[in-house]
């Protein structure tokens, strides 16, 4: 058994990684040793990387003990690069981690100065060569064999071989050395593999002081929505789903989400959707960072916004927003009916929950149809002077309806390519109270088994 990790106190007594445990105990009789848990270090590092998303959307694990962060456009949110670094160091120190942070134009140089550089560890843009010239070859993340070979040749600093002939370097040390040098100097892309892929549409708002009140959360949300929706409006896009995340000072984060029926970048509408959900966010000791992420974005041409001013019809955006609020607050399902290309009444329409879905055909307007349809039709008792004539009265749910006016019959045949069965003869009838109904006889009047049904109600 060998030592896989040590602390500072053990290292001061001569114990180091790779030392046999029996030899270590001979050096320090009272040494306390614990079994190494498989993958514990990588698991902890991965969790720490996820926690660091509060500082930037793109965080990558750099095993065995580092993290790489793409921080372009983040520092100004914290008051500048130095304040940004200090905030990260302070947060990680508070969690028990000792850290060194380097910031540069490329991940390679940032990695190098964090491990081998001297303060200040912020490299100004365009000074990559000067930043690494005085560092040892190990700062290029070389294989140990290559680094040792460079030292044997007296090349103890990167600046000593950085400008040498590339053919000579390739012949003596292989292409790997040139690749690492090019990555450090920004001549090759040094790709990061983030622990979480950052969304295309995201805005972040760090807080100078932790937010613990509802009013503070509302103000932060509104600022983020104004920024994100302004960007979407310029790109003629709209939100269909959006989430608000709050990163707390205790290392946890809280989240709430809303969705819309159609793409929108209307700030007031989105604020109304979030309004009753904000109370469910638990700020704990305070939220130090708010992140607004668009989980679903769709095209929202400028023509759709003109509908807001014109108003009216199913395309009115106010109707869509009303549906969003009803679903979001009441937990209900709002259905819309669209025409279907069938003659048989039960198959002449379909239900959908999409407010924006276009109809594949138009509603039939050549013949009158009831505004309310029973599915399935209900049996009624009918009296008719002659079997093939409109009825004089019918009994529905125990009540007698005497017919004052009638129109029909309209024959609707079964759609034989779907199912077989008898035809229907429909009548529009009005009783003595002015109520109008849609009734039909199933089958011919001379059939022994014909029956009458009520199928709908006219307005």
> What's the CA gap between 238 and 70, in Å, rounded?
27
- Does 7 have pLDDT greater than 90? no
* Predicted pLDDT of residue 273: 87
Coil, helix or strand at residue 103: strand
* Predicted pLDDT of residue 390: 82
Tokens at 242, concatenated: 């959006």
- The CATH number for 202-325, chosen from 1.20.1250.20, 3.30.1490.100, 3.40.50.150, 3.30.70.20, is 3.30.1490.100
- C-beta atoms surrounding 135 within 10 Å: 21
> What's the CA gap between 6 and 67, in Å, rounded?
20
What is the bridge-based pairing of β-strands 424-431 and 349-352?
unpaired
332 or 125: which carries more pLDDT confidence? 125
User: Of 190, 103, 101, whose CA–CA distance to 140 is shortest?
Assistant: 190
Please state the pTM of the whole predicted model: 0.56
User: Of 361, 256, 238, 264, whose CA–CA distance to 320 is shortest?
Assistant: 264
* Cβ-proximal residues to 8 (8 Å cutoff; 6+ apart), any chain: none
Q: Provide mean pLDDT across the span 229-238.
A: 89
* Predicted pLDDT of residue 130: 92
Q: Mean pLDDT score of the chain, rounded to an integer?
A: 86
180-192 residue pLDDT tens: 999 999 888 888 8
Classify residue 345 by its DSSP letter.
G
* Predicted pLDDT of residue 307: 47
- Does 356 have pLDDT greater than 70? no
* Predicted pLDDT of residue 308: 46
* Predicted pLDDT of residue 349: 82
**Domain ranges within the chain, ordered by starting residue:** 59-184, 202-325, 372-457
293 or 199: which carries more pLDDT confidence? 293
290-328 residue pLDDT tens: 999 988 888 887 655 554 455 555 566 666 777 777 777
205-227 residue pLDDT tens: 888 888 999 999 999 999 999 99
* Predicted pLDDT of residue 5: 87
* Predicted pLDDT of residue 302: 63
- Does 447 have pLDDT greater than 80? no
User: Of 177, 131, 176, 134, whose CA–CA distance to 157 is shortest?
Assistant: 134
pLDDT-derived band at 329 (thresholds 50, 70, 90) equals low
* Cβ-proximal residues to 95 (8 Å cutoff; 6+ apart), any chain: 251
* Predicted pLDDT of residue 73: 83
Contact 439, 453 (CB under 8 A): yes
* Predicted pLDDT of residue 303: 55
- Does 443 have pLDDT greater than 90? no
Coil, helix or strand at residue 339: strand
* Predicted pLDDT of residue 141: 92
Q: Provide mean pLDDT across the span 22-36.
A: 90
Q: Provide mean pLDDT across the span 10-34.
A: 91
> What's the CA gap between 133 and 145, in Å, rounded?
20
Q: Provide mean pLDDT across the span 82-95.
A: 91
Three state DSSP letters for 216-251: HHHHHHHHHHHHHHHHHHHCCEEEEEEEEEEEECCC
Contact 245, 283 (CB under 8 A): no
User: Of 324, 312, 345, whose CA–CA distance to 426 is shortest?
Assistant: 345
310 or 366: which carries more pLDDT confidence? 366
321 or 193: which carries more pLDDT confidence? 193
DSSP code per residue over 288-324:
EEEEEEEEEEEE--HHHHHHHHH--STT-HHHHHHHH
> What's the CA gap between 437 and 454, in Å, rounded?
7
């Amino acid at each position: 058994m060998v030592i896989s990790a040590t602390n500072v106190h053990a290292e001061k007594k001569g114990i180091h990684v790779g030392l046999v445990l029996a030899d270590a105990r001979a050096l320090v009789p009272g040494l306390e040793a614990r079994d190494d848990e498989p993958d514990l270090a990588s698991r902890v590092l991965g969790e720490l990387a996820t926690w660091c998303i509060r500082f930037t959307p793109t965080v990558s694990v750099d095993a065995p003990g580092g993290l790489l962060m793409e921080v372009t456009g983040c520092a100004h949110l914290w008051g500048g690069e130095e304040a940004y670094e200090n905030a990260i160091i302070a947060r990680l120190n508070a969690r028990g981690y000792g850290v060194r942070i380097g910031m540069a134009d490329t991940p390679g140089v940032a990695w190098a100065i964090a491990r081998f550089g001297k303060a200040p560890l912020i490299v100004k843009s365009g000074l990559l060569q000067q930043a690494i010239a005085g560092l040892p070859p190990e700062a290029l993340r070389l294989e140990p064999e290559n680094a040792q070979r460079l030292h044997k040749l007296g090349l103890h600093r990167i600046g000593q071989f950085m400008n040498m002939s590339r053919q000579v370097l390739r012949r003596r040390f292989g292409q790997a050395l040139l690749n690492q040098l090019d990555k450090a100097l920004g001549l090759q892309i040094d790709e990061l593999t983030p622990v979480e892929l950052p969304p295309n549409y995201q805005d972040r708002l760090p807080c100078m002081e932790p937010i613990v009140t509802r009013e503070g959360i509302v103000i932060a949300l509104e600022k983020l929505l104004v920024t994100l929706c302004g960007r979407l409006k310029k790109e003629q896009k709209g939100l269909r789903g959006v989430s608000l995340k709050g990163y707390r000072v205790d290392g946890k984060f809280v989240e709430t989400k809303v969705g819309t029926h159609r793409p929108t970048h209307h700030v007031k509408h989105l604020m109304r959707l979030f309004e009753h959900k904000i109370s469910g966010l638990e700020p704990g000791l305070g939220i130090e960072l708010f992140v607004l992420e668009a989980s679903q974005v769709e095209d929202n041409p400028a023509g759709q916004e003109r509908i807001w001013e014109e108003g009216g019809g199913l395309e009115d955006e106010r109707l869509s927003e009303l549906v969003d609020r009803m679903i979001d607050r009441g937990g209900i399902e709002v259905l819309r009916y669209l025409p279907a290309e069938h003659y048989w009444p039960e198959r002449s329409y379909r239900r959908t929950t999409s407010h924006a879905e276009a109809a594949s055909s138009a509603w039939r307007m050549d013949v009158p149809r009831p505004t309310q349809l029973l599915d399935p039709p209900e049996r009624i008792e009918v009296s008719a002077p002659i079997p093939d004539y409109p009825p004089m009265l019918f009994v529905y749910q125990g009540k007698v309806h005497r017919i004052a006016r009638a129109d029909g019959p309209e024959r609707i045949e079964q759609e034989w390519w779907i199912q077989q069965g008898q035809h229907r003869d429909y009548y529009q009838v009005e009783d003595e109270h002015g109520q109008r109904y849609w009734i039909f006889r199933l089958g011919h009047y001379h059939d022994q088994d014909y029956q009458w049904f009520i199928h709908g109600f006219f307005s």
